[in-house]
Every structure is written in C-alpha cells, then in structure tokens.
Amino acid sequence: MTDHPHPRRPRWRSLALLAVLLAPLLWPLHHLAERYYRSELAEQNRQTLDLYVANLLGTLRRYEVLPPILGDLPPLRAVLDQPASGPTHEAANRLLSQLREQTGAEVIYLMDAAGNTLAASNWDQPDSFIGRNFAFRPYFREAIAGQQGRFFGLGTTSGKRGYYFASAVRDGKRVLGALVVKVDLDITEVPWGNTPEQLLVTDHHGVVILTSRAQWRYRASRPLSVRERDEIADNQPYPTREPVPLQLKSDTWMEQSRVLQETGWTVNILAPRSMIERRVQTSVAIGGGALLLLMLMLGLMMQRRRHYLERIAFDSRARQELESRVLERTHDLETLNSRLKDEVLEREHAQQEAARAQDELVQAGKLSVLGTMSASISHELNQPLAAIRSYAENAAVLLDHQRIDDARGNLKLIGELTGRMASIIAHLRAFARRDRHAPESVALQPALDDALALLAQRRRAMEVELIRDLPDAPLWVQAGETRLRQVLGNLLANALDALTAKGPPRRLWLNAEQTAQGVELRIRDNGPGFSEEALQRAREPFFTTKTSTQGLGLGLAICDTLMRALGGELLLANHPEGGALLTLRLRAAAPGVNPHPPEDFA
C-alpha cells in the first residue's frame, strides 16, 4: 500500500484575501453606528434640555409675581409715605426679612422713586442695601416706567449674581417707589457638576451667565457690538466690562439650544463628541471581531471537509489495493467498507442530534431569562405604577379646579417615581449578578415611612391598625436607599397580603432597636403565619402560597438577595402569640446627612 500524501493545511491565504475583501464593509457599519448614536445622543440631550428649561422657567415664574403683590402690603407703603419714621422702617425691614425666609428669595428690598433703598431683608447684614442707590439698574427704570423690571446681573454690593424682578409701588397714578426681588440662580448649576454634558446659558448679549464650567462664566459666545459694550458698561451686569471670547471647537462638542422668549436667554447643552466616538469604535470593534470569527469558522469548516474527503479517498485506495493483491478477501473488504460507511452515517447523525440539543438548550435558556425578567419587572414596578396613575388622576382633577401649583406638585412626584422605577429596574438586574454599588449611610425611619406611605391607602382600606415602636433618633444603617425601600415595601406588602385572609381586627407591629451587632427591625402581623413548607422554601424564587394572579413568588427571594448583598440578614419565623414575624438585621453605619422627609404618596 502506498503512503498517502500529508494532509494539506487550510488555505489561510485565501481566507486572508477574503477578509481583505470584506473589510470595507466595516466602513458602512461605522457610518450607520455613528448616525445611530448621534441621533440617540441628540434625543437624550433634547429631553435633558427640556427638563432643565422647565425647571429654570418654573424657578423664575415662581418669583415674578411677588413684587406687585408685596408692593401692596401696608407696612411697606407706610415707609414710602413716612420715609423719616424709624419704627416704620424697622417694621418694614423685619417684614421683608420674614418674607425672604418664607419665599426662598435671595434679597427683597424697597426703593423710593429716586432709587434709594429704604428697607431691605438684609438690613442687619454687613452688605445691607439700606441707603444705597440702584437707579442705574435697568430693572428700576423699567419698574418706574410702569413695566415689570427684569434683569440678570452681579450684585454691586454683595458681589453675587442673581435675577431681579421689580414692580412699581403706586398711589393711584403716582409712583411711590419700586419693590425688587432678587433670585439666586446658583442652585440651577448644581445638578450639572459631574455629568459629561455641559450646560451653557447665555443672555441677550451672548455672554455666558450660567454654566457647569466655572471657567466659561462671563465669557462672550459671539463678538459684541459697540452698543452692547456701552450697555454692559452702563448696567454693569458682569464682573468685567470686556467679556473674554469663549472659543469652543465645533468638532469637539455636539450642541443643542433653546431660546427663552421671556428672558431673552439661550439655553445650550454641549455633549462631547467623544461619547459618540467611543460607542462607534466599540461597534466597529465588535463588527471586526465578528468578521474575524467568521473567517476562523470558515477555515475550520474547510479543514474539516478536507479531512473528511481525504479519509474517504484513503479508504477507497486501501480497498482497491487489497482487492488487487488478495481476491479472496473481497468479501471482508466489502464488509469493512460497509462498516465504515455505517460509522460515518452514525457519526453524522450524532453530530446532528448534538447540534439540535444545543439549539434547544439555548432557546430554553432564553425563555427562562425572559420569563424571570418579565416577572421581576411586573412584580417590582406594580406599586410605583399604581402611585403614578393615582397622581395623574389627581392632577387632572386639580387642573379642572384651576389648582395649577398642586397639579405641578403631582407631576413632580410622578417624575420622582419614574426615577425610582428606573432605579428599581437597575437593582432587579442585581438579582442575577453581584451588585457593585457600595453601601451608604441611610436613615431607617424615613425609608420605612416612605414604604408605609406607599401602602397607606391599601392599609386604610383593609382597616389595618399600625402599632409603631420606633426610636425618635434616626437609626443609621449601611444600605442603598432605593434597595432598602424596595425591601421594606415588599415585606410590608406581603404582610398586608397575609392579613387579607383574616377578619378584623387586623394589626401590624413595627419595632426597631440598636443592638450590639447592628440594627434590628421587626415586622409582625396577626395573620395566619408561615406554614412549615413556607418557612423552608420562602426564599426560593417562584415559590408562593398565593394564586398566580396574586404573585409569582419573587418578593422574599429578591429581599433575601438584596439583604445579603448589603451584609444584612432576613429571618422568617412565627410569633408565639400568632402571626408571622420578619426580622431584618442590618449593619450599623455612621450618621450621614439629615434624613430626607418621607415622600407623600397620599
């Protein structure tokens, strides 16, 4: 028998040539990815810009109605009528100081018709406005002329920027003076400190007045005319009379803007183009990796096919040589050939079965993950969605009764609930993988009050008596604020579910205390309690004693996972006097910031 030739290696040169021919396909992929991510970033920035504009206008509109209202107060009119009276001035100063604390304004002050400040809320401060003349300010001239004065500028006394609203104080047609309210706008820049997107608000001169980058402030975004420079010199709105030009490279930032007709400002949001470039590079890298993987798979398939053909050729040559040398062994060779064919067929059949089984396992895994995610989202978002629907219905009723401020408050709470829903979704994903967020110091009582407020309507409908035994001082624990509220909300909801099967009286006990090991919170009800099977399997996902329409058995499993991730423990037991007893053991933490008041879900 002759030696068969050495198996040839795969034609890698051909594969490399094919890869070079397919490489230009990455350019359309780069173009499509860039267009997609640019559109996605533009839509995201548009929504962010809408929210900021609404917040900024809401802040300004809240204060623009104050000057004409406060100007009619008798103590302030008395100062204009009797400018030499000391007691009258003292009463007006104290009134303005009290109004400033109630409204949150920066400064409120009263000027006579000549622009001299007679009374001010900062009368007892070193930078008091008393006795100062602000007749050169545009807002004073507009107010004296019968219009509502508006002006952004840097305070000549305090050195602090602000937005001024002014309105004339009249006695019939005679102008007695003007009342001015200064609004602090620094708070509008705070949320932009740690975001890659940059805020840029310019006034009608094109000068930056609000920005998330301090080095951009009071710079000119466009060339200033001679008239604008003279106006800046007269009104002194900035710390400089010659704003330095702001030079931004168009190839570095992606810009979107919105003009505010009320103020003449332009609000811009600048997103670094590097955000798009990183995503596009990642997409192209993934595409290149997929192309490389395709080339490798083609090479392996070619190699496997060549080996298979060479094996068949070898068998054929062996059979011909054996037939030519020994004719009497023809039957044996035919039997061997038949056996080899059967082996090949069986191997191919086994390979097909293995591939089909693998496809079924992949499909089953996909359906399992999809079912788990759908069930988790449905279970965890049910309560916030119910609260959002309640707020929306209340907002409609409030709008029908022209209660605009109350309706706006409901819409703000809807926005907060939406943010909480997004946070809950993020933590639902933590159920399947380890949560990387470091615990923080969280006050236990406010989180518990929020969870109770969310279930308050249901608890009152069920006539459940709430018995609290909580210390007055905050108990600080190591947890995530959203995750802790999620655990408390699930446990309290389960307690109410257990009480539905019991007639009145229905009671729910809450007890918390500081121990040597940390902080313990005990939740007890007078319901039927846990069965033996429930005590053993309650932490298993999808185990439940309820019907399929009442729950999927994920609540306690998620709570147990979150507690262990926070270094705590969830204990389940039955109380000796009846009912279920759930104990949360949390790690104590150092006192943090002042705990937030509980949110109103009434």
124 with 176, same domain: the answer is yes
CATH number, residue 555:
3.30.565.10
Q: Which of 237, 269, 301 is the last residue of a domain?
A: 269
State residue 365's pLDDT score.
Answer: 35
Whether 198 shows a pLDDT value over 50: the answer reads yes
Statement: residue 110 has pLDDT above 90: yes
10 and 29 part of one domain:
yes
**Cα–Cα distance, 561 to 584 (Å, whole number):** 13
Same domain flag for 105 and 206: no
pLDDT value at residue 107: 93
pLDDT band at 370 (very low <50, low <70, confident <90, very high): very low
Q: How far apart are CA 307 and CA 301, in angstroms?
A: 10
Average confidence (pLDDT) over 426-434: 43
Same domain, 55 and 69: no
CATH (domain of 205): 3.30.450.20
The residue segments making up the domain with residue 248 are: 195-269
The whole-number pLDDT of residue 140 equals 92
Domain stops at, among 429, 461, 487: 429
Any domain includes 355: no
Judge whether 331 lies within some domain: no
Residue 224 lies in a domain: yes
Indicate the average pLDDT of the chain: 78
If asked whether residues 264 and 301 sit together in one domain, one would say: no
- Residue 529: inside a domain: yes
Q: Give the rounded percent of residues in the chain with a pLDDT score beyond 90.
A: 8
- If asked whether residues 118 and 158 sit together in one domain, one would say yes
Q: Is residue 596 part of a domain?
A: no
For residue range 126-184, list pLDDT tens digits in order. Answer: 888 898 998 888 889 989 988 888 888 888 777 788 899 999 998 888 888 999 999 98
- What is the mean predicted confidence (pLDDT) over 296-305? 79
- 570 with 513, same domain? yes
Q: What would the pLDDT profile of 501-524 be if each residue is shown by its tens digit?
A: 787 888 999 999 888 888 999 999
Confidence category of residue 380, pLDDT binned at 50, 70, 90: low
Residues 530 and 458 placed together within one structural domain of the fold: yes
Strands lying side by side in the sheet with 198-202: 208-211, 198-202, 265-272, 253-260
Contact 501, 528 (CB under 8 A): yes
| pLDDT value, residue 568 | 84
Question: Does residue 399 belong to any structural domain of this protein?
Answer: yes
Q: Which pLDDT band holds residue 316 (cuts at 50, 70, 90)?
A: confident
The amino acid occupying position 143 is: A
Provide the domain count of the chain. 5
My answer on whether 569 and 459 are in the same domain is yes
Is 228 contained in some domain? yes
Q: Is residue 359 part of a domain?
A: no
What is the CB neighbour count within 10 angstroms for residue 588?
15
Residues 579, 454 share a domain: yes
The reply to whether 13 and 77 lie within a common domain is no
Q: Tokens 């039927």 sit at which residue? A: 528
Looking at the structure, do residues 582 and 536 belong to the same domain, yes or no?
yes
Q: What is the DSSP string of 350-394?
A: HHHHHHHHHHHHHHHHHHHHHHHHHHHHHHHSHHHHHHHHHHHHH
**Per-residue model confidence (pLDDT) at position 354:** 55
Domain boundary residue, one of 247, 281, 309: 309
pLDDT bin (cut points 50, 70, 90) of residue 452 is: confident
Exposed, middle or buried, 370 (CB in 10 Å: 0-12/13-18/19+)? Answer: exposed
Rounded CA gap, 371 and 382, in Å? 17
By C-alpha distance, which of 544, 504, 510 is closest to 525?
510
Q: How confident is the model at residue 263 (pLDDT cuts 50, 70, 90)?
A: confident
Quote the CA–CA distance of 291 and 296 in Å, as a whole number.
9
**Rounded Cα–Cα distance for residues 218 and 216 (Å):** 7
pLDDT at 165: 93
Q: What is the pLDDT of residue 18?
A: 65
Task: Kindly report, residue by residue over 393-419, the tens digit of the pLDDT.
Answer: 888 888 888 888 888 888 888 888 887
Does the pTM surpass 0.75? The reply is no
| Mean pLDDT in residue range 268-286 | 79
Which residue reads 């008596």 in tokens? 465
